[in-house]
Structure 1
Amino acid sequence: MTSLRIGLVGSRFAAHLHLLAYRRVYGVEAALVGVTSPTAERREALARESGATAYPSLAAMLPHVDVVDVCAPPAAHEPLALEALEAGKHVVIEKPFTGAFGTNDAAFAGNRADKQRLLKDALASADRIVRAARRRGVVLGYAENWIYAPAVQKEREIVEKTGAQILWMLGGESHSGSHSPVYGIWRHAGGGSLVGKGCHPLTACLYLKQVEGRARAGRPIRPASVSCRVHEITRLAGFRDRGFLRTDYQDVEDYSQLHVTFDDGTVADVFATELVLGGVHNYLEVFANNHRTTCRLNPVNLLDTYNPEAAQFRDVYVVEKIGTKEGWSHPAADEEWQQGFYGEIQDFLECCVAGRRPQSGALTAHDTVATLYAGYVSAERGGQDTPVPLAALAEVE
């Protein structure tokens, strides 16, 4: 059995989710042996929690690992991934895969930047990562947990085994605002709700159409065009802030809606916002020619709990971004499992050992980047239908 040494880059929310997933891996001999983060205090704390060695930089960690898991802020994804790939390491990249971040000048305003230029920059970044992985012959995993969520995987099985034609999909991810300190600043995050949240349901839609195409015709069905609108609701002059929503966004949208037309003429609609109270609201509905499915990623009501006094649950984790622990709630029994985090890490490590392609790899990553940033071009043009500039299939498979 091949033993894999894993190095984790990052020390915040996503890094902790991946740490939990590595502890659940089975059938693959693998161990998290290294962590690195620019903040010494945080990397040392994660090292103590995980039992791994803390390294001051990725360069210092690379000789000691076989797999590099990038859980850093989005603007750092490409340079970190390229450094690891050029060293011959397998690489996992947390969402969003990459993007366009403008300049590092504090005066840069992404909401006013030329979106055609940002689309070009985002595609060039994705190209560089994918080509480096192909050149080095290593596994490239795009850590989009929605693809591996049990509900989405069951829908994959239904589509494959019944020969379904998906006619329309409706999906969304929303909550009251990101936990990331750099979210809301385009030069760090690469966009707002569309990129930061919309990437999740969008990628699941792209994945299921790929599955459908391969099952029925031997080739993936891919996005052809998009129409998109974005808005900055919490920065409206008339917005009344009651203190429940995050509002410190500098130059990104807090609401987006994306309409995707695939190359077979079928469609998907994706909504993403920072305007929803009561915890994370994640869903995907699939309307096919032979069935209908609703994938409920969050909330999931395996548990219904009533708590008359919030203080009682001070040390009880209920569910992400619930806002209050008082009253009725749906505590997550195993949030990482239901959201697909265990499944994605399991798949990536199996692929590293077996040399096969992950379910969420270069094709899904590249198509997602192209679709999202074509969406920004459309939004800049008032929702005009805009082509999605795809890479040739041979270049991303």
Structure 2
Amino acid sequence: MTQKTIRIAISGTGFAGDYTASTYSMIPHKNGVHIELAGVISGRRENAEKFAVRHNVTNAFDSHEEMLKSVQPDIDNICCANFAHGPYATEAGQAGVPVIVLEKPPVIWPGYPEGRTADAATRKEESMDYLATVLDAVRAGKSKLLYAEDFIYVDGVKGIVELLIEAQKQNKGKVLYQSGVCAHQGSHAPAYDTPSKSGGGALFNKACHPLGPALYLKQVEGILNGTGPIRPVQVSAAALQILKHQPETSHEFFRPMQNVDDFGRITVMFEDRTIAEVHGHDLSISGIRNEFSVITDFAEYDVRMNPNNENELFLPEGTAAGNILLREKLSTPQGTSFPRPNQTYSHGYVNEMNDAVDCALESDRSPQSGPMMAWDTMAVLMASYESADADGRFVDISEYTVRGRQFTENEIPDPHRLGKVFQRQ
């Protein structure tokens, strides 16, 4: 059998770069396929070189453009600071990279790096215009864009889709109400509290996580019933700075944000007048909290990604655990905790990168989370800040979603190819 090599490029050597590199060694085995981590870049060359040694990456490079020319990757993972997402995705599209894995959020308002100020409505309009040029470059290059929202790929969400497929056979399968949360005690990345690099705070960078499956499941519902993806049309939101206004005695276990929001709430109304509510915040003192719930016309499904009480541990002395991270962002292992073995898998990253590899191997396969997901996510997030500035009033985004950019068949998901997680009787 002739062996096929899939070449991987990685942009970014921080937290996302680390789990991305690790994930490729965890995807399901594929006969005759070798995955090579072929190139990496970072904001500093020495960081890229250290990363290359740590993860056995073939070469470190000085620039994204240089890496693309030298490596000619099959998959380009853009997992660097948010401000570089748009430029790197455009470069990858122009280079004709077969699969582009773009971390969340898709882009940031282009005015931030330029040092401009504008009201939230203007930021929304300019951000959507900018994202359109990025997606145009990806489309022109015949690249496949995988918008890397890992919540879409967790086994629980895959299980919900499996149930929706079965329920449709019984004339059921209406998703009525969805809710979710992503929270911890504040990112330690220096760029997070800098809008020109991060694009926003907890609403933009955390609430986006449960927003992903909420948008995806409505897309899936409409595809399964034959009417086409059901899109978001109105948004109400709050974006607040809580810790900044509290006394210093409240800051001990958190990173108080000075320039971005540390609490975000988004209510999304879809075109069929169903609802999703998601939260993102930096106020979780007990480590990361990733949860998602769905109420349908036939069932309620709760996904507790982290914490999850499948495992329980009691440590009288935390030092006994050494440097083991039992749960992401858990500040101390001492006492009773609920460890999350293989967090990289439970958070959806392995399924996500497996989709990217399958898309590189199969010409007729498109990512489950693709350009439509990136587009609708960005419209919701930017409209959320507009709503927050208007004391939570609903903002209409149908000009972008229902009546806006059109997506081809290979830019929307095929729920029948998401993969099964349940056994059958």
State whether TM-score is above 0.5. Answer: yes
CA contact (8 A) 1:34 1:65 kept: no
Paired AA for residue 285 in structure 2: L
Shift of 1:81: 1.2
Matched residue, 1:366: 375
- 2:269 is matched with which residue? 261
| 1:191 aligned to which of 174, 180, 200 | 200
Confirm whether residue 217 of structure 1 aligns to residue 223 of structure 2: no
What displacement does 1:234 show? 0.9
* Counterpart check, 1:236 vs 2:245: yes
AA aligned opposite 1:190: G
TM-score, normalised via structure 2 length: 0.89
Correspondence for 2:47 among 36, 39, 42: 42
Letter in 2 for 1:393: Q
Tell whether 2:385 aligns with 1:383. Answer: no
- Give the match for residue 418 of structure 2: none
- Residues 181 and 292 in structure 2, CA contact (< 8 A), matched pair in contact too: yes
1:309 aligns with 2:314: no
Q: Which residue of the partner structure matches residue 65 of structure 1?
A: 72
Matching residue's letter, 1:129: V
- Say whether the 8 Å CA contact 1:101–1:186 is kept in structure 2: no
* In the alignment, structure 1 residue 276 sits paired with structure 2 residue 289: no
* Contact 2:93–2:143, Cα closer than 8 Å, also in 1: yes
**Partner residue in 2 for 1:19:** 21
1:198-234 deviation line (CA, Å, top 9, x unaligned): 1100011000111111111241111010111111101
Deviation at 1:238, TM superposition (A): 5.3
More moved, 5-14 vs 39-48:
39-48
Contact 1:2 / 1:353 at 8 angstroms: preserved in 2?
Answer: no
Letter in 1 for 2:319: A
Counterpart among 294, 298, 304 of residue 290 in structure 1: 298
- Could you give the per-residue CA deviations for residues 273-324 of structure 1, whole angstroms, max 9, x where no partner exists? 1111101111111011110000111112222111111111122221111111
Q: How many angstroms apart in 2 are the aligned matches of 1:174 and 1:335?
A: 15
1:264 is displaced (CA, Å) by 0.5
1:141 aligned counterpart, secondary structure: strand
* Deviation readout 1:170-203 (Å, 9 max, x if unpaired): 1111110113111011111111111110110001
CA distance in 2, matches of 1:95, 1:118: 18
Partners of 1:221 and 1:210 lie apart in 2 by 5
Q: State whether residues 372 and 407 of structure 2, in contact with CA within 8 Å, keep that contact through their aligned partners in structure 1.
A: no
Is residue 151 of structure 1 aligned with residue 156 of structure 2? yes
Kept after mapping to 2: 8 A contact 1:101/1:190: no
Equivalent residue letter for 2:301:
T
CA distance in 2, matches of 1:222, 1:346: 26
2:200 maps to amino acid: G
* Residue correspondences, number: 392
Instruction: Identify the range of structure 1 (306-315 vs 235-244) with the bigger mean alpha-carbon deviation.
Output: 235-244
The offset of 1:253, in angstroms, is: 0.8
Question: Cα deviation per residue 1:94-126 (whole Å; 9 max; x = unaligned)?
Answer: 1111121533367x67xxx41011101221222
Aligned partners of 2:92 and 2:138 also within 8 Å: no
Q: TM-score, normalised by structure 1?
A: 0.95
Instruction: Return the match for 1:394 from 376, 390, 407.
Output: 407
Q: Residue type matched to 2:244 in 1?
A: R
Amino acid at match of 1:49: R
2-structure distance, mates of 1:17, 1:125? 28
Alpha-carbon distance, 1:370 to partner: 0.5
Over residues 307-347 of structure 1, what are the superposed CA-to-partner deviations in whole Å (9 max), with x where a residue is unaligned? Answer: 11111112222111111110011112110111000000000
Q: Distance in 2 between matches of 1:313 and 1:238?
A: 33
Say whether residues 1:133 and 2:138 are aligned partners: yes
What do you get for the CA RMSD once the two structures are aligned? 1.6
* Structure 2 gap segments, 5+ residues each: 413-425
CA positional deviation for 1:2:
4.1
- Matched-pair contact (CA < 8 Å) for 2:85–2:107: yes
Question: Are 1:162 and 2:175 an aligned pair?
Answer: no
Q: Is the contact made by 1:101 and 1:188 (CA closer than 8 Å) also made in structure 2?
A: no
Tell me how far 1:83 sits from its aligned partner: 1.2
Alpha-carbon deviation of 1:239? Answer: 6.7
Q: For the residues of structure 2 that align with 1:172 and 1:367, how far apart are their CA atoms?
A: 19
SS across alignment from 1:183: helix
Looking at structure 2, the residues matched to 82 and 350 of structure 1 have their Cα atoms a distance apart, in angstroms, of: 22
Q: Judge which range, 52-61 or 257-266, deviates more.
A: 52-61
The match for 1:341 is 349
Give the residue type in structure 2 aligned to 1:65.
Q
Q: Helix, strand or coil for the counterpart of 1:128? A: helix
CA contact (8 A) 1:101 1:189 kept: no
SS in 2 for 1:250: coil
Match for residue 189 of structure 2 among 176, 180, 184: 180
Q: Given that residues 302 and 333 in structure 1 are in contact (C-alpha distance below 8 angstroms), is that contact kept between their aligned partners in structure 2? A: no
Out of 196, 201, 212, the position equivalent to 2:210 is 201
